[in-house]
């Protein structure tokens, strides 16, 4: 809770105002039975209308004062809870943005979404309810017992005996409920995970006619969530009858002994009414404890999940150096680089030794799982190598500021991701200060400009979520334009032309020549690799051959097999 308190602390002034106002409401509520006792004993029992009006008037004034205090309290409680929630979400989002890919692997995407939304909402609700009514409930219990003791110690002993027992019982229930509600939040993660998969893979589900199967998966996860929630709520519901039973027994005991005390004159009727009033208020406060247990149990589970994210150590340390222009022809070097994904025993790439020179176009080829994408992800430090080092302009990438390093690199991933918005906004997303002319120039180089002009709204045309209203080739070319607009020193194309036809890809490769960048492209197509200055052939995470197309045709049996397989498939026609 220390971490959560750090987010509440900036609003402690408003919090203290809310607590003071809540305390004023509490004091008025504790005074009411005393005023009622005075009305009965000094007014009604004495047939004194003046006393009734006097004490009744005081009761109305203090009630009005408490009413105003309650309204203002709600304002400040809302301010504290909403502001804390805002800061928590911002803090968590900033932390997640700072995560390396290995950090992100520790949390499911659906779990992070739940923590950023539902879990933070639980903290907000708990803060608001605590400052509004929940802290008042235990204070009302303690204050009610003290006031009853001051009125009549003998009658109040019923409360002294029963209230501590009930409080211990409630503490036990709260601990048990906290464990159950933690499971509830985990099951909610599971439901969100299935929903996310279904919405993202709706086309595939429909194409394979797997609606019933996936619906069954969702129903199963949803039922697990319901079962855990019901179990937690059932525990809380059992507390209410127990509380009411014990408190009602206390009321009967007080009335039984008060009867003889009134007859002997040792107790006044007003005192009995006041003590019964305190018992009823304490009973009401204890029944609120069921809600308090539920809210605090959920808040405890949620705070633990939030703190788990906030306390996660980012395993990628930022450097301090800026990226400078290369003093030599060598722009990048892999120096005996190896890498193993976290939690995976196999080494993805092994002892890569490679020099890349300024202005080169390098094609990287190899089978599935040979380590091509892994090599790419190490360059902008999406992951850090587990052995060896990658040098850019003669300096280890770990020494650069991550932001500076990544600004000098444009990365087009294998899985294209476009954002909701216009085509123009998606291309300009690569560089915020891009002009309209630069956007059009990047689109022309990516061979998408003419296609955009043929659309009804052209560059103002809106892209659906993840580009659902565009073809695969169109999405790839917009993604390439987004990279080109950065005018990077290093351009990484991870199989980013797979959906392009031969002629379009050839025109793109020609247009790429005017950019002063070093290009590394992962490709499965020999016709694309032929345009490169060098081809790097990977197998089982190792470089097994390097050279241009003609050299590899002569020297590499693996490359020969790739060429032959694509010749049989007609891929190399018109090459």
- Virtual CA dihedral for 293, 299, 301, 302, nearest 10 degrees? 160
User: Where do the structural domains in the chain lie, given as residue ranges?
Assistant: 2-310
Q: How far apart, in Å, are the Cα atoms of 409 and each of 381, 383, 402, 486? A: 11, 15, 11, 8
Res. 234: pLDDT tops 90 = no
How far apart CA 459 and CA 438 sit, in angstroms, is: 13
- pLDDT-derived band at 327 (thresholds 50, 70, 90) equals low
* CA gyration radius, the chain: 35
Which ranges of 153-268 does DSSP label H, i.e. alpha helix? 153-200, 202-207, 211-264
How far apart CA 203 and CA 185 sit, in angstroms, is: 29
Res. 419: pLDDT tops 90 = no
Res. 569: pLDDT tops 60 = no
- pLDDT-derived band at 180 (thresholds 50, 70, 90) equals confident
Q: What does the pLDDT read at residue 571?
A: 46
| Arithmetic mean of pLDDT, 256-272 | 72
Q: Do strands 518-522 and 490-494 pair parallel, antiparallel, or not at all (unpaired)?
A: parallel
| Arithmetic mean of pLDDT, 324-352 | 81
* Residue 321 DSSP code: B
Helices then strands, counting H and E runs in the chain, come out as: 21, 12
Comparing 79 with 172, the larger pLDDT belongs to 79
Res. 575: pLDDT tops 50 = no
Comparing 160 with 199, the larger pLDDT belongs to 160
Mapping DSSP to helix (H, G, I), strand (E, B) and coil, where does residue 469 land? coil
Asked if 37 contacts 274 with a C-beta cutoff of 8 angstroms, the reply is: yes
Mapped to the 3 state alphabet, what secondary structure does 268-309 carry?
CHHHHHHHHHHHHHHHHHHHHHHHHHHHHHHHHHHHHHHHHH
What mean pLDDT is reported for the chain?
A: 83
Ramachandran region, residue 547 (left: φ > 0; alpha: ψ -120 to 50; beta: rest): left
How far apart CA 385 and CA 349 sit, in angstroms, is: 9
For residue 165, give both structure tokens: 């027992």
Res. 425: pLDDT tops 50 = yes
Q: How far apart, in Å, are the Cα atoms of 413 and each of 249, 497, 539? A: 71, 11, 21
| Arithmetic mean of pLDDT, 87-107 | 85
- By mean pLDDT, which of 4-13, 66-75, 416-425 is the weakest? 416-425
Straight-line distance from the first to the last Cα atom of the chain, in angstroms, rounded to the nearest whole number: 66
Asked if 70 contacts 21 with a C-beta cutoff of 8 angstroms, the reply is: yes
Report helix, strand and coil shares of the chain as percent, to nearest 5: 65, 10, 20
Check: pTM over 0.85? Answer yes or no: no
Q: What does the pLDDT read at residue 320?
A: 67
DSSP-assigned beta bridge partners for residue 148: none
| Arithmetic mean of pLDDT, 68-86 | 92
Q: Which of 402, 235, 280, 396 is nearest to 33 (CA)?
A: 280
* Helix H or strand E segment including 133: none
Neighbours of 75 (CB within 10 A): 13
Res. 90: pLDDT tops 90 = yes
Give the chain's length.
Answer: 575
- By mean pLDDT, which of 24-38, 62-76, 297-311, 461-475 is the weakest? 461-475
CB burial string 108-136: b at 16+ within 10 A, e below: eebbbbbbbebbbebbbbbbbbbbbbbbb
What fold characterizes domain 2-310?
ABC transporter transmembrane region fold (1.20.1560)
- By mean pLDDT, which of 40-49, 154-163, 379-388, 522-531 is the weakest? 154-163
How far apart CA 468 and CA 470 sit, in angstroms, is: 6
* Residue 312 DSSP code: P
- By mean pLDDT, which of 330-339, 359-368, 461-470 is the weakest? 461-470
């Amino acid at each position: 809770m220390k971490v959560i308190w750090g987010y509440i602390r900036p609003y402690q002034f408003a919090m203290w105002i809310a607590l003071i106002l809540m305390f004023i409401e509490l004091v008025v509520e504790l005074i009411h039975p005393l005023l009622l006792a005075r009305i009965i004993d000094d007014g009604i029992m004495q047939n004194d209308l003046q006393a009734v009006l006097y004490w009744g008037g005081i009761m109305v004034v203090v009630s009005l004062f408490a009413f105003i205090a309650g309204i203002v309290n709600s304002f400040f409680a809302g301010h504290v809870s909403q502001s804390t929630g805002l800061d928590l979400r911002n803090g968590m989002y900033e932390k997640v943005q700072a995560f390396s890919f290995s950090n992100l692997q520790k949390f499911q995407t659906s779990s992070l979404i739940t923590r950023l939304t539902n879990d933070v909402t639980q903290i907000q609700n708990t803060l608001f309810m605590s400052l509004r009514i929940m802290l008042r409930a235990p204070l009302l219990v303690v204050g009610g017992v003290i006031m009853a003791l001051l009125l009549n110690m003998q009658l109040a002993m019923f409360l002294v005996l029963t209230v501590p027992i009930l409080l211990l019982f409630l503490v036990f229930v709260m601990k048990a409920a906290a464990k159950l509600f933690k499971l509830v939040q985990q099951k909610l993660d599971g439901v969100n995970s299935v929903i996310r998969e279904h919405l993202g893979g709706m086309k595939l589900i429909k194409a394979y006619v797997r609606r019933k199967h996936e619906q069954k998966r969702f129903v199963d996860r949803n039922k697990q969530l319901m079962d855990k929630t019901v179990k937690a709520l059932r525990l809380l519901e059992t507390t209410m009858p127990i509380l009411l039973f014990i408190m009602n027994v206390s009321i009967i005991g007080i009335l039984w002994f008060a009867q003889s005390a009134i007859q002997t004159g040792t107790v006044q009727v007003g005192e009995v009414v006041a003590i019964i009033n305190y018992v009823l208020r304490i009973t009401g406060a204890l029944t609120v404890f069921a809600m308090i247990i539920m809210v605090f149990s959920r808040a405890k589970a949620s705070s633990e999940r939030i703190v788990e994210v906030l306390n996660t150590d980012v395993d990628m340390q930022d450097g301090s150096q800026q990226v400078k222009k290369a003093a030599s022809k060598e722009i990048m070097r892999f120096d005996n680089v190896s890498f193993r994904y976290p939690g995976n025993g196999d080494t993805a790439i092994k002892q890569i030794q490679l020099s890349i020179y300024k202005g080169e176009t390098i094609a990287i080829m190899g089978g599935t799982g040979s380590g091509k994408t892994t090599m790419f992800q190490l360059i902008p430090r999406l992951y850090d190598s587990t052995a060896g080092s990658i040098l850019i302009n003669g300096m280890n990438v770990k020494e650069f500021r991550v932001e500076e390093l990544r600004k000098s690199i444009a990365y087009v991933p294998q899985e294209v991701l476009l954002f909701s918005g216009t085509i123009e906004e998606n291309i300009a997303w690569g560089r915020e200060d891009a002009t309209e002319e630069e956007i059009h120039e990047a689109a022309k180089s990516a061979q998408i400009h003419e296609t955009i002009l043929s659309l009804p709204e052209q560059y103002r045309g809106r892209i659906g979520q993840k580009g659902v209203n565009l073809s695969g080739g169109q999405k790839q070319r917009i993604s390439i334009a987004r990279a080109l607009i950065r005018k990077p020193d290093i351009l990484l194309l991870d199989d980013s032309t797979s959906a392009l036809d031969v002629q379009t890809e050839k025109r793109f490769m020609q247009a790429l020549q005017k950019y002063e960048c070093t290009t590394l492209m992962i490709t499965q197509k020999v016709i694309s690799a032929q345009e490169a200055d060098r081809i790097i052939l990977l197998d089982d995470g190792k470089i097994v051959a390097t050279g241009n197309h003609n050299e590899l045709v002569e020297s590499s049996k693996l490359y020969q097999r790739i060429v032959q397989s694509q010749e049989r498939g007609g891929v190399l026609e018109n090459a």
